[in-house]
Structure formats: C-alpha cells, structure tokens
Amino acid sequence: GQGIVERGLHSAGPDVASNNARSPVWPPLVRRRSSVARTGIVGDIRVVREPLSLLHVVPSINPRTGGPAASVPGLAGAQARGGLAVAVASLDYEEHGDSPEIPGVRSLASPPSALGRRLRGWSPALRRLILEAAVRADIVHSHALWMVPGIYARQAAESLGRPLVISPRGMLDPWSLERSRLKKLLAAGAYENRNLGAARLLHATSDLESESVRRYGLRQPVTVLPNGVELTRAGEIHGRELLERR
C-alpha cells in the first residue's frame, strides 16, 4: 500500500481576462473573485500575530525531476530561516533521488501510485495531505503547471478561502507550450486555466517570463522575483585551475 511521509518542523487583484486575443487557440480562462479577511488592532488592544504560514505545493522535489525540485526547497528554506512557518507538499518519486530534508520546513510527501504515474500525479493521499495542511496555512503557493497536484492546491485554497499564488516555472513560455501542444490544450481546458484563473498573484522569475504570463492572457498582478542563489562559503570556493581542469 501507499505510505505517507511527514518530516520536519512544524490583497485582492483584478479579475483574469476571459480571453487573450493574441492566443485565441487556448481555451478561455475562468473568471473568479475572492476576498481575504484581515485582522486589525482594536482600540488599545495589542494583537500578537503568529508567524505567516505558507504551504508550497509542487509535483516533486526529488532532485532528478527538474528545476522546481531545486528552486522550491531553496525558497522554502530561505523563508523558514526568515521566521515563517513553512510546509512543502509533494509526491515522492524515490527512483529520482532522495527528497532533500529542508531545515525548519515541514515536509509532506506521498509516493505516487502506478495509476497516478499515468494520470499526471493523481493522488488522493496527497490531496488529503494538502487539504489538511492548508487549514493551518495563510497562503497556498503552487509551483509548475500541467500536473494534478496543482488542482489540489487550487481546491484547498478555494475551499478554505486562502489566497493562491502560482509560479508557472517557465511552463507558460512559448517554447514550453509548443511541447506536447495538444495535450496541454486539453489540460488547459480541463483544469489548468481554472487553476490559473483562481490565482491571486502570479510569480515570474524574470521579465521574459512575466511577458509570457501576459501573452497567455492572465491579468492578475505579477511579481518578478528571480530564484535565489545560495553562495558558496568563501572557504569552499574552488580555484581557477581546478575549474578549468573540469
């Protein structure tokens, strides 16, 4: 049977345009409205807030599964060091390397079933983990597109009234959309446009990616924040001669 692994420690934007004139072949985006309640200070009462709690949802953080497997743990670790309460939910594809343990981050992982491997990460076990973790989260942040875990992130955010942030991770760039184009057109109409339409904020890692987001037809606020880079400690920097030999 499947096993579930848990490791570690425990403003509204404008609507999405329903169509993009420059990309008419893509199914129309779903228009959504949502609101976020904010707690204020009443009279002379001092309100003590708990640290902001974030739930990251990513198809996988196994090291050989692609870029998000490196960028998402890096982001989550940096946020935890900054004093935030952070959790990462993902599928655990053990054959692609051991998932990293991220200090200070609560890791929620479920191995994919044989059927889930064929159905883009379909996993009732992961869905349950995400819904349970979202109860404690202030923000749900979904990474990458075209996979079923993104549906779970959107469902959790909508059901609990949490703001949803989506990082496409380059998957709306023109060259990426052209790969398996027919499958992506079907996925866009079936679920991905609904996911994107529910996002309160979109995260691009470059101005070029931001342009791709707009070209696709998304009109929510976009923040451009490059992936962080953890600099090697000075004592571990290799000399020029060693690098040239490699």
Count the helix, strand and coil residues of the chain and give each as a percent rounded to the nearest 5.
Answer: 35, 15, 45
Nearest of 222, 150, 223 to residue 184 by alpha carbon: 150
Q: Distance between CA 100 and CA 8 in Å, rounded? A: 11
More confident residue, 42 or 81: 81
Kindly report the average pLDDT of the chain as a whole number: 83
Whole-angstrom distance between the N-terminal and C-terminal Cα of the chain?
Answer: 45
Q: Distance between CA 244 and CA 246 in Å, rounded? A: 5
Nearest of 118, 173, 117, 123 to residue 145 by alpha carbon: 173
pLDDT value at 10 more than 70: no
| pTM listed for this prediction | 0.78
Q: Find the mean pLDDT for residues 185-214.
A: 97
Q: Find the mean pLDDT for residues 208-216.
A: 97
Percent of the chain with pLDDT over 90: 70
Residues 6+ apart with CB under 8 A from 6: 106, 107, 108, 109, 129
pLDDT in tens, 50-70: 889 999 999 999 999 988 999
pLDDT value at 30 more than 50: no
Percent of the chain with pLDDT over 70: 74
